[in-house]
Structure 1
Amino acid sequence: MNPSIVQQISECFVKPQLTTEESKQPCYLTPWDLAMLAVQYIQKGLLFKKPPATHSQQDFINTLLDKLKQSLSLTLVHFYPLAGRLATVKNENPPAYSVFVDCNNSPGAKFIHAVLDMTISDILSPTYVPLVVQSLFDHDRALNIDGHTRPLLSIQVTELVDGVFIGCSMNHSLGDGTSYWNFLNAWSEIFQAQEKGTLSISYPPIIQRWFLDGHGPMINLPLKHQEEFMNRYEAPPLKERVFHFSLESIAKVKVKANAEVNTSEISSFQSLSALVWRSITRARHLPHDQVTSCRLAINNRSRLAPPLPENYFGNCVQTVRGVTTVGQLLEHSLGWAAWKLHEAVVGHTDKEVRGFVEAWLQSPSLYQLHQFFDPQSVMMGSSPRFNMYGNEFGLGKAIALRSGYAHKFDGKVSSYPGHEGGGSIDLEVCLSPDNMTALESDVEFMNAVSSS
């Protein structure tokens, strides 16, 4: 047995503990949901230390697995679409497909127990995230459209020598990062309270989807063949590294950015994103007339009028971007680049959000990962605002967060809260080996990086 290979011990399926009348109905997908069909599952996971040995390790893991499955079953009562499968209705004239979630015709969410003969140090000590981390998740390379035959939610609990990794793969057509972490937060909350047998959670999800007036709930995709969904993406060779930024370091970057353009309106995250954009662009040694952009994932819930609540379960996310040439980006200041990103964010209003949906309905299209793989640009995903380290599962606070294979390309940067909290941020940066080496030699960038 190769000690660096994850060995699957068992798998089963978990259904909601109760079947509600609401869960017997189809869950229809919005334009934001449908646009995700050709991209990959969300894959994020938390690494925990094993507790001090007070009894046999086998008893510990068996008890943990039983509690995780029981609490997952309770959580799925609230998040019942995650226990379903995708279903498609084909229309012959004109040719079109309508995709929705069938919450009844499914064995449930998948639950895997696996082992890996490695330590926490083996995972966290290397400078670059080891490839074995990708094996800590199910649904490797799966597209969301595969949810017709694969579970929409898969949990993989991998036992390490001295730790436990809980990796969650969720179909991105069902929800965005906000929805993903709301689910994890609810599962953790129910886990902590399950001895009381309670089903209540602090922020129950709102499953009913948001549609523009006069549209939905069933939306046709004008495709002649279902194969048009299936543009498989293979990531290029990448190095992946997590860079840590303390609150003090971020504050300095923010003060510098605002001072350079005589304002106080640029946020910490816009300032940090501008630093990353400029530093990665410098590392790439691109021609000065080359167009470059920095995309920011942006939550539409608060931008709609009236706004949607944060516990709206579904996709409600787009990207905004700052665009310029390499020469302009590098010749101007950090503040100049940060202001471009600030303008993109503040310009994303209710009118812009609704305009995007109206345009999509006139000409539906699916996001393709190869379109996001732009070797001249940077994509800032996820968010340090998500409550990632509040998920404990009886194991105390996680010591690290890692992601799977999904959505990785040269210039993809995912932002997470730092482990110590308090406004610190971890950036998971994916770059080609040469570009990563150049970034690590970038003085402005590395001066802002803090020791973990």
Structure 2
Amino acid sequence: MGVGEEVKVVESFVVSPSRETPRKSLPLSPLDLVLANRGHTPLVFFYRSCAAADSEDDIFFDVARLKAAMATALVSFYPLACRLGVDGDGRAQIDCAEQGLPFFVAQSDLTLDNFINFKPSPELRRLFVPRLDDSPSVVCAIQVTFLRCGGAALGVAVHHAVVDGISTCHFLRTWAAFSSGDGAAAAALEPPCHDRTLLRARSPPIVHPDALSVFCPKLSPSQSDTMPDAVVNEIFTISMDQVAALKRSCSFGRGDISTFCAMSALVWRCVCAARRLQPDAMTRLTFQANVRRRLRPPIPDSYFGNGIIMLCATGKVRDIASESEEQLASVAGRIGGAIRRMNDELVRSAIDYMELDMAAGLLATPAGGMSETELTVVSWLGMPFYDVDFGWGKPLVMHRAVQQRAGLVYLMDGAGGSVRVLASMEPATLNDFRRLLYGNTAKL
């Protein structure tokens, strides 16, 4: 595994569940299959060295302890130790035969100070996340890199066809609880639900005619207006007080507005203005929505797989980019309205739509660029990734290791109630977006 001179892999092994697990095939739902072409999601966590150990034997990021804890966690989360395969009809599935989860241990002369801004970059992925180019069927792999300063980087590569962010966080928190020896925390976490038939298509599939007004099947960029290949990433922090003021501004007599709706409305406004789009052009915001509690009956929060669909809100650029406080509230309300319309029928129609697309051979289309009038916002708000404490403290920072699609924004919890905005933009847009985002929040 050649990752360059900065990082040297010194050990590699495969972690298997500590007890026997089911040997069977698990189907992938249409919600899984629509994300199959995305490959492995690269995540990176940075940890400072723990100066106050419980004893001399308490080694910071002790590999043996991490390995034993993972083996215990994989008993419940056994699909992560499996491989992707295909059934007799050529449909992707998870083949479970206790193949094990690849685990790499590396050392580096780099320090945390080398990554002071912690921006996602190809370099972060190259250095700290397992490279699985030659092992595309591996579901999940881990790399722990010990840094010269005494800190550590934890890199995670997990296949998006198998799990979404909610399920990934569930596994990492469980592994961390076993590693830290916090039995109460481990007991408080629900075991994962592996019944993937809960999100299978109906027979026959039925798409309600109103579903497509909110559900966004997939992005379809045109040849003429896709964004350039060059992408720059920046992380912006909006303080807790600014977020609270933004939510008050967006309520405008409409009742409570969620942090996601308020922040998405503001980011959408700033992106439209920064890109200098034509006022009469139509622009679209797409965003992920968790379906688990929207079905009737609801499926468990612990459902282990992809439980998300893409919703959308649209409008004319002049309305979205307007500096009017009332108009910003209207945009936030438009986003919230799309979320409120996500009921059982809409979700089932979305699943059926994907099933029909798959039958027509249209589902696994390559993920390309987006139109300049498109913006996608992904919310990690409320996901307790920062609770992933293996016994030596919570992470200093975590996010995707690399993000190379312009027009994609992640919203993440920051310190002290703040919100971190990870924006991936074309270089010509980023400076204006920064000015507009901070200029708008400064006026709140």
Q: TM-score, normalised by structure 2?
A: 0.84
Give structure 1 stretches of 5+ with no counterpart: 92-96, 217-233
Alpha-carbon separation, structure 2, partners of 1:120 and 1:257: 38
Residue 392 of structure 1: SS of its match in structure 2?
Answer: coil
| 2:279 corresponding residue in structure 1 | 288
| 2:219 corresponding residue in structure 1 | none
| 1:256 corresponding residue in structure 2 | 249
Cα 1:75–1:52 shift into 2, 3 Å? same
* 1:360 Cα deviation from its structure 2 partner: 2.1
| 2:333 corresponding residue in structure 1 | 339
Alpha-carbon separation, structure 1, partners of 2:9 and 2:57: 16
Q: Is the contact made by 1:11 and 1:113 (CA closer than 8 Å) also made in structure 2?
A: yes
Alpha-carbon separation, structure 2, partners of 1:282 and 1:247: 24
Alpha-carbon separation, structure 1, partners of 2:4 and 2:121: 14
* 1:214 Cα deviation from its structure 2 partner: 5.6
1:64 alignment partner AA: D
Q: Is the contact made by 1:7 and 1:114 (CA closer than 8 Å) also made in structure 2?
A: yes
Give structure 2 stretches of 5+ with no counterpart: 205-226
| 1:185 corresponding residue in structure 2 | 173
Write the deviation string for residues 358-402 of structure 1: whole angstroms up to 9, x where unpaired. 222223243546356333221111421101111111221211113
1:49-448 equivalences in 2 (<5 Å): 49-52=48-51, 60=59, 64-91=62-89, 97-104=90-97, 106=99, 108-125=100-117, 128-129=119-120, 131-138=122-129, 140=131, 147-148=136-137, 151-162=138-149, 163-193=151-181, 202-209=189-196, 210-212=198-200, 236-259=229-252, 262-331=253-322, 333-364=327-358, 365-366=362-363, 368=365, 370-371=367-368, 373-405=370-402, 408-420=404-416, 423-442=417-436, 444-448=437-441
Q: Is the contact made by 1:133 and 1:402 (CA closer than 8 Å) also made in structure 2?
A: no
Paired residues in the alignment total 411
Q: Is the contact made by 1:117 and 1:161 (CA closer than 8 Å) also made in structure 2?
A: yes
Cα 1:138–1:242 shift into 2, 3 Å? same
Cα 1:161–1:382 shift into 2, 3 Å? farther
Query: Once structures 1 and 2 are overlaid, which stretch shifts more, 300-309 or 117-126?
Result: 117-126
Query: Once structures 1 and 2 are overlaid, which stretch shifts more, 386-395 or 363-372?
Result: 363-372
Alpha-carbon separation, structure 1, partners of 2:440 and 2:113: 26
Q: Is the contact made by 2:120 and 2:401 (CA closer than 8 Å) also made in structure 1?
A: no
**Percentage of identical aligned residues:** 24
Q: Is the contact made by 1:242 and 1:429 (CA closer than 8 Å) also made in structure 2?
A: yes
Alpha-carbon separation, structure 1, partners of 2:98 and 2:388: 30
Alpha-carbon separation, structure 2, partners of 1:152 and 1:166: 17
Alpha-carbon separation, structure 1, partners of 2:104 and 2:228: 25
Alpha-carbon separation, structure 1, partners of 2:306 and 2:8: 33
* 1:102 Cα deviation from its structure 2 partner: 1.0
Residue 247 of structure 2: SS of its match in structure 1?
Answer: helix
Alpha-carbon separation, structure 2, partners of 1:156 and 1:139: 6
2:415 alignment partner AA: H
| 2:6 corresponding residue in structure 1 | 5
| 1:36 corresponding residue in structure 2 | 35
Alpha-carbon separation, structure 2, partners of 1:2 and 1:352: 45
* 1:59 Cα deviation from its structure 2 partner: 9.1
Alpha-carbon separation, structure 2, partners of 1:142 and 1:368: 19
| 2:213 corresponding residue in structure 1 | none
* 1:286 Cα deviation from its structure 2 partner: 1.7
Cα 1:339–1:191 shift into 2, 3 Å? same
Alpha-carbon separation, structure 1, partners of 2:201 and 2:357: 17
Alpha-carbon separation, structure 1, partners of 2:396 and 2:47: 6
Alpha-carbon separation, structure 2, partners of 1:54 and 1:188: 17
Residue 16 of structure 1: SS of its match in structure 2?
Answer: coil
Alpha-carbon separation, structure 1, partners of 2:94 and 2:9: 28
Alpha-carbon separation, structure 1, partners of 2:3 and 2:29: 45
Cα 1:58–1:169 shift into 2, 3 Å? farther
Residue 301 of structure 1: SS of its match in structure 2?
Answer: coil
Write the deviation string for residues 302-334 of structure 1: whole angstroms up to 9, x where unpaired. 111111111110111011111112223223621
Alpha-carbon separation, structure 2, partners of 1:24 and 1:401: 34
* 1:8 Cα deviation from its structure 2 partner: 2.0
Cα 1:431–1:305 shift into 2, 3 Å? same
Cα 1:142–1:236 shift into 2, 3 Å? farther
Write the deviation string for residues 140-170 of structure 1: whole angstroms up to 9, x where unpaired. 5859xx643xx21111111122211111111
| 1:221 corresponding residue in structure 2 | none
Cα 1:109–1:201 shift into 2, 3 Å? farther
Alpha-carbon separation, structure 1, partners of 2:386 and 2:411: 13
* 1:280 Cα deviation from its structure 2 partner: 1.2
Residue 91 of structure 2: SS of its match in structure 1?
Answer: strand
* 1:136 Cα deviation from its structure 2 partner: 4.1
Alpha-carbon separation, structure 2, partners of 1:350 and 1:389: 31
